[in-house]
Amino acid sequence: MKTIKGPGIFLAQFAGDEAPYNTLEGMAVWAAKLGFKGIQIPTWDKRLFDLQKAAETEGYCEDILGMAGRAGIAITELSTHLQGQLVASHSAYDPLLAGFAPPELAGDPKARQQWAVQQLLWAAKASQKLGLKAHATFSGALAWPFLYPFPQRPAGLIDEAFNELGKRWLPILQAFDEVDVDVCFELHPAEDLHDGITFDRFLSVVGDHPRANILYDPSHMVLQQMDYLGFIDIYYERIRAFHVKDAEFSPSALSGVYGGYQDWIDRPGRFRSLGDGQVDFGQIFSKLAQYDYPGWAVLEWECCIKDSEAGAAEGAPFIRKHIIRVTDRAFDDFAGAGVDTVANRKVLGL
């Protein structure tokens, strides 16, 4: 068995215009002081990371690794959540996605999609240079506007959407395969890959590609009312990244999973800081240890109540407390007597 690496922290929700949150070095030092051992880096924020330079320029990744080493922290994964969203997006979302890509691409969805693919290809090369084995992203969404089948969906609509999704992602998966890095899709509402069924459908259109894997985040499964523990039993071989994020779901006579268009604080399903929600992290960490999860436990802070600094400060000890240092021997070894075939046959009456 493997001991899970951590605690790590995803920097996206903490980045800002003021020090120490406006540079990667400043955030690395900040995270290390809080007790984190790793940082997951958003690659769309050039205040922190220049993805093209990392992929194409000699020495940039070495400098990043050197800086992290001086801070006493590792890089867990790179993230292309925003770029991944643009690999496949329905035209209904065009105005809302304008801020995910450079301003000069506004109003040109085809150019924006091509830009996003290039970003993923650069992410593969950058991950290799940084010595990483997993990459965090979103799948994007062509079919999400048709989630609830009314009016009735045209026959074959979802098949067509997933065929197109697979066609767009297959070259990216192959690029990551060439550099020995897993693509870990965060299964997330508003993405076409949001649960086990949709992930299986995706696998079927990319030929069960070995680089098509999962970023496991139980909070999104709580909000969908899924069995997030049973999910690990089914998909443990594909879980290659892990966001440690809490959530709660308290339906009422007025509102349920869909939330009634309410603000987050009023919704039945809400993201919470670690320990303030309903996720059974003791069982999650036990199952991941049981199944030899090879990666990091990375805090993703999202809470509509608690201050982000408090959530970050509490996150490192929370994760550290839950990481199980796995045993290297069986608990009943003291009673073992080795293998004795003759004795075993006597015990069996043979």
What pLDDT, in 10s, does the model give residues 294-344? 999 999 999 999 999 999 999 999 999 999 999 887 766 666 767 888 989
Distance, in Å, from the CA atom of 158 to the CA atom of 150, rounded to the nearest integer, reads 14
Q: String of b and e for 54-74 (b: at least 16 CB within 10 Å)?
A: bbeeeebbeebeeebeebebb
Distance, in Å, from the CA atom of 109 to the CA atom of 90, rounded to the nearest integer, reads 10
Distance, in Å, from the CA atom of 187 to the CA atom of 43, rounded to the nearest integer, reads 19
pLDDT at residue 68 is higher than 90: yes
pLDDT in tens, 134-154: 999 999 999 999 999 999 999
pLDDT: which is higher, 2 or 216: 216
Residues comprising the chain, all counted: 350
pLDDT at residue 274 is higher than 80: yes
Distance, in Å, from the CA atom of 213 to the CA atom of 241, rounded to the nearest integer, reads 8
> What's residue 339's pLDDT?
84
Distance, in Å, from the CA atom of 231 to the CA atom of 236, rounded to the nearest integer, reads 8
> What's residue 340's pLDDT?
87
Tokens coding 149:
């089948």
pLDDT in tens, 149-201: 999 999 999 999 999 999 999 999 999 999 999 999 999 999 999 999 999 99
> What's residue 1's pLDDT?
83
- The arithmetic mean of pLDDT across residues 80-97, rounded, is 96
**Which pLDDT band holds residue 69 (cuts at 50, 70, 90)?**
very high
Helix (H, G, I), strand (E, B) or coil at 130: coil
pLDDT in tens, 38-56: 999 999 999 999 999 999 9
- For every residue of 152-219, DSSP letters joined together read PPPTTHHHHHHHHHHHHHHHHHHHHHHTT-EEEEE--TTSS--SHHHHHHHHHHTTT-TTEEEEE-HH
What value does the mean pLDDT of the chain take?
A: 96
Which class in CATH covers the domain with range 5-347? Answer: alpha beta
Element (H, E) at 58: none
Distance, in Å, from the CA atom of 321 to the CA atom of 160, rounded to the nearest integer, reads 46
CA dihedral (33, 218, 325, 334) in degrees, to 10, reads: 170
Q: Which positions ≥6 away from 85 have C-beta within 8 Å?
A: 97, 100, 116, 138, 140, 141, 191
pLDDT at residue 63 is higher than 70: yes
Distance, in Å, from the CA atom of 65 to the CA atom of 69, rounded to the nearest integer, reads 6
Asked whether the beta carbons of 141 and 94 are under 8 A apart, the reply is no
